[in-house]
Amino acid sequence: MSRKFQHIPADLFLKCPQCKRILIAKDVEKNFQVCPRCDYHFLLSYKERLQSLVDEGSFVEYDADLLSNDPLQFPQYQEKLATARAKTGLNDAIIYGTASIDSLPCVLIITDFNFMGGSMGWVLGEKVKRAMELAIEKKLPVVLISGSGGGARMQEGIISLMQMAKTAAAVGRLHSAGLPYIVVLTNPTMAGVLASFASLGDVNIAEPGALIGFTGPRVIEQTLKIKLPPDFQSSEFQLKHGFLDLVVHRKELRSIIIRLLRFFLNRNQPREKPLLVQPSLTPEDISLLPEFERPIAEVMLQLDKLEKLAEREKMDRSEEIEELRKRAEELTRKAYQNLTRWERVQVARHPLRPYTLDYAEMIFDDFIELHGDRLMGDDPAIVGGLASLQGETVVFIGHQKGRTTKERRWRNFGSARPEGYHKALRLMKMAEKFGFPVLTFLDTPGAACLTEAEERGIAQAIARNLQEMSKLKTQIIVTVIGEGGSGGAIGIGVGDRLLMQENAYYSVISPESCAAIIWRDSKRAPEAAEALKLTAQDLKNLGVADEIVPEPEGGAHRNWLESARLLKESLLRNLEELKNIPIDELIEKRYEKYNKIR
């Protein structure tokens, strides 16, 4: 096996099991017990975990003296237990109790690989269950740090297997009580532990390179007579397949846990971050721009050039600069005065328009993107996570387009697969559990047009979202920020309010496809755009959109920060209104909202 679980000796030097380099023990210690050369995360004992995570002296242990009663009288089990106890100072592979992390109280569970591989017998299962009950009684969040390599404890046989059912049920009660559960999977977490309480977090995190899986890799290799790829059952593998929200370097672990706790407890603190700088226009962009924008762009580029020249030569060119600026403004005003519907579609698709994650950066005081649908994958065409909107936790979900050619392809141009809709629904259910409002941003040309999307039930995924969103017990505000493309858009688009940015469009079909189907000529898209009545104003007139969110003159791409400010203002105002409506009434109104449309 390539990954060894080796503890750091107290010596001066040690060998990294991954890169095989000889390291100075002090350097490794200073580096959070991570190899400074290859990032290998060394195994930590429960003591080291406590030290690196909780506020000093805050941990109060419960049930430290709980002992296994050796239910099967298994050969040599007592001796094994005695050895492990002597080695670790623990009575079994787990500790739990109350603690505070950055002054945020929680129930903390740590399983320790050093004690018989962190395997789960009655004691471990019982303590996990009691930890959940303690959290429910004290109304506290639970943080689990799992290092349970072996899964079930063979020496306790079927009693060990039953702990899976018991612990999963206890986690279920924690969820029903509306309390947060943050899971941190460390190297290694396997088998029965992973297939019960260690997979059921609201948020599942793992340290990089950890071995995480159900069946041990050696068993798979021997059974199937194959050689597994090196990343098989790694944290990164689990993230890619949708089972982890995040892979977090140990350096960042404490601060991520703190931010998550703050989100869940609605005790948000604004995060210091650099102001987002919007990408500036480059000559290469010109060919991507809508035709009516090109003359403006030419002047803007001249202006930019002149400003740089003046700066470099330290000469006063302010008159010329002012003149160009005026000309650009005038051209913009003229072009945007009377946009045709087709032109608006092009503004909605503008390559420099802010996208969902840009707005997340500008609108929220803090945002953590969470990944995975917990079923099979993570779709980069739909992003989502926990955000703080002026101090209040919300769940934020939106389509995401790519900025560069590579990113565009990776995100499938904002066209989501079923995994994207499953992820969105998972996050919405989390919002419902905690009573967090849901904000969704629509910006997609349509759902993924791929055979694999059909194989995995894209229609089913969208249908389920429509049904679940119609009755989700929390406020939902939907905003079209660019393209509202058909079923792919409405798949995260059912809510109490529909806002549309001034230059966004929302349509049952793209104008090109409509023209191609009706007139067998996609070049007649401008005509189709007129006929489809798909602008924000049209939708307002049709009683579909509730509000038009103004954009800066010349479109959102002209001034990102101003665009975000206008959008945030509208979101805050609408949310305030919705929060005054009792939840049952709100859902009834949501039902009626769609019934009225005709």
Site residues, Zn ion (CB under 5 A):
16, 18-19, 35, 37-38, 40
End-to-end CA distance of the chain: 64
Nearer to Zn ion, 9 or 435 (CB): 9
CA separation for the pair 352, 334 (Å, rounded)? 20
Instruction: Output the smallest distance, CB 251 to Zn ion, in A.
Output: 15
Residue 587, class by beta-carbon neighbours within 10 Å (0-12 exposed, 13-18 middle, 19+ buried)? middle
Q: Tell me the DSSP string of 187-247.
A: S-EEHHHHTTGGG--SEEEE-TT-BEESS-HHHHHHHHT----TTTTBHHHHHHTTS-SEE
Distance in Å, CB of 33 to Zn ion, minimum: 12
What is the crossing angle of helices 356-363 and 560-579, to 10°? Answer: 70
DSSP letter at 291? G
Alpha-carbon distance of 201 to 226, in angstroms, equals 32
Question: Encoding tokens for residue 439?
Answer: 């904000």
Nearer to Zn ion among residue 16 and residue 104 (C-beta)? 16
Q: Work out how close the CB of 13 gets to Zn ion at its nearest, in angstroms, rounded to a whole number.
A: 13
- The residue written with tokens 């949708």 in the block is 242
On whether the CB atoms of residues 374 and 243 are closer than 8 A, the answer is yes
Q: Which is nearer to Zn ion, 30 or 308 (CB)?
A: 30
Complex with Zn ion: residue 39 or 365, whichever CB lies closer: 39
Q: How many CA atoms lie within 13 A of 152 on its CB side?
A: 18
Task: List 95's β-bridge partners, or say none.
Answer: 110
| Dmax (CA) of the chain | 93
C-beta of residue 443 within 8 angstroms of C-beta of residue 482: yes
CA distances from 253 to 3, 112, 183, 365, 454 (A): 21, 18, 12, 20, 38
Peptide bond into 188 cis (omega under 30): yes
Task: Please say which residue, 38 or 265, places its beta carbon nearer to Zn ion.
Answer: 38
Cα–Cα distance measured from residue 500 to residue 566, given in angstroms and rounded to the nearest whole number: 12
CB of 37 to Zn ion, least distance (A): 5
Closest distance between Zn ion and the C-beta of residue 489, in Å? Answer: 47
Q: Is 95 exposed, middle or buried (0-12, 13-18, 19+ CB in 10 A)?
A: buried
Q: Cβ closer to Zn ion: 38 or 544?
A: 38
Q: What whole-number distance in Å separates Cα of residue 431 and Cα of residue 263?
A: 11
Shortest Cβ distance from residue 236 to Zn ion (Å)?
17
Q: How far apart are CA 394 and CA 391, in angstroms?
A: 9
Shortest distance (Å) from residue 21 CB to Zn ion: 5
- Residue whose CB is less far from Zn ion, 41 or 262: 41
Question: Min. distance of Cβ 15 from Zn ion in angstroms?
Answer: 9
Please report how close the Cβ of residue 239 comes to Zn ion at its closest, in angstroms. Answer: 21
CA dist., res. 381 & res. 400, Å (int) = 5
Q: What is the closest distance, in whole angstroms, from the C-beta atom of residue 34 to Zn ion in the complex? A: 9
Of 8 and 265, CB closest to Zn ion: 8
* Least spacing, CB of residue 284 vs Zn ion, in Å: 41
Pick the closer one to Zn ion by CB: 35 or 185.
35
**Which two structure tokens, joined as six digits, stand for 309?**
């020249």
Nearer CB in complex with Zn ion: 57/230: 230
CB nearer Zn ion, residue 100 or residue 235: 235
Q: Pick the closer one to Zn ion by CB: 16 or 152.
A: 16
- In whole angstroms, the minimum distance from the beta carbon of 249 to Zn ion comes to 14
